[in-house]
Amino acid sequence: MGSLWTSTLSGFCTATNKSSGDELGIDWSPSTPIFTRENGGAIDPSYLTHRFHKLVMASGLPPVRLHDLRHGAATPALAAGADLRVVQGLLGHASIVLTADTY
């Protein structure tokens, strides 16, 4: 995960823990899965891809891949003034040149 997500989730969980305490049972760290099964187990990536595809088809929207949603995060972030290096980290690009050329 990039530093933007880590700091955002860390801030959210800190605020949540401060306001709700142990009631929510949140013990978050950067390695904690965000989306899990009801039993707390990991969700298989192929399940998410399949489920996303079914939801897109049922919605009547034009076909879009789950991977394409990365553009839906990066483009508005840059338009809102996010630093290119932050977006690079968010997307996991090894080179800032790739991020700059793509967005």
Domain ranges of the chain: 1-38
pLDDT in tens, 19-36: 433 455 656 666 767 778
Q: Three-state DSSP class for 31?
A: coil
| Cα 28 to Cα 34: distance, rounded to the nearest angstrom | 9
pTM higher than 0.75:
no
For 80-102, what is each residue's pLDDT tens digit?
A: 999 999 999 888 899 999 999 98
Which are the contacts of 56, defined by CB distance < 8 A and separation ≥ 6? 63, 64
